[in-house]
Amino acid sequence: MSDNNQNAQAYWKENVKLLLTLLLVWFAVSYGCGILFVDALDTIKIGGFPLGFWFAQQGSIYTFVVLIFVYTARMNTLDRKYDFHEE
């Protein structure tokens, strides 16, 4: 029982660490690039897009999609590593 318990705690710890890392990216891309530093980034242009404007209207959404799929893949690995995966 206590073995299983330790296992669950280690699993949870890794889970929270992964989550915080991904949320940091989430925050940096949307609130950072899209809002807080948008004017500075707008001085850089890629094609017709001022970069800050692109992050605010397009880039952040692409990043969100990628973040969730990365999370899904990493969690599936974690489930197997700690033997918590569903049959």
Contact set with other proteins (CB under 8 A): 8, 11-12, 15-16, 19, 22-23, 26, 30-31, 34-36, 38, 42, 46-50, 53-54, 56-58, 60-62, 64-65, 67-69, 71-72, 75-76, 79, 83-86
Angle at CA of residue 32, ends 27 and 34, nearest 5°? 105
The sign one gets for the Cα dihedral 25, 30, 32, 38 is positive
Contact of 74 with 14, CB cutoff 8 Å: no
